[in-house]
Amino acid sequence: MTAGERSRLELLDAALRSDSVREHTRSVVVRVREQLARRKDALMSWEPVPLDVFATTLPPEIRSAWVFVLRAGADTGAERHPNSHQRMMSFEGSGDLQTGRPGKWQSNVLVSEPDAPLERRWISIQTNVWHRPVIDANADWAVVSFHTVPAEELIEERPDDNRDAGTKQMKYLGK
């Protein structure tokens, strides 16, 4: 990790340590977890978080924030973001945010222990890098994710051999 990237993650980490931000994030986690519980076939559920929730100044490239809750025991499959650099922090629970590509995954087990080193709680995923969340079987995994595009522009891309491009794209907000 470069010094510049570490500095960005430290800024984001400090923003998430604020009592008011943690309280707001917990309320979003509860709501998103309830959505996931209602959707028995879903592997994850999510909600964008307004940037004005964060009392501190975020790095200028951050354009959206999200809470995701990933179902316990799930492997959500390979995905990438062709238009955004993602920075993600483990908020509740734990999981393995694998990076690389199918057949050549690198494990990045993340935990939600506030005193754990930054590298054990955060991951930085460059634009177009494949990643794959694999969630511990014991509990759902809640994460906070920051992106370099506005919420309505964030694209998820997944492998799809039935398409000429070899991938399928969607926007999280469905627009």
Does residue 129 carry a pLDDT above 90?
yes
Q: Which pLDDT value is given to residue 166?
A: 74
Q: Which of 116-120, 136-140, 165-169 has the lowest mean pLDDT?
A: 165-169
Q: What is the overall mean pLDDT for the chain?
A: 92
Does residue 94 carry a pLDDT above 60?
yes
% residues pLDDT > 70 (the chain): 97
Q: Where are the domains of the chain?
A: 3-159
Q: Which pLDDT value is given to residue 1?
A: 81
CATH H-level, domain 3-159: superfamily: Jelly Rolls (2.60.120.10)
Q: Which pLDDT value is given to residue 171?
A: 84
Q: Which of 35-39, 45-49, 156-160 has the lowest mean pLDDT?
A: 156-160
Is the C-alpha dihedral spanning 30, 32, 35, 37 positive or negative? negative
- Cβ atoms of 94 and 141 closer than 8 Å: yes
Q: Which pLDDT value is given to residue 162?
A: 75
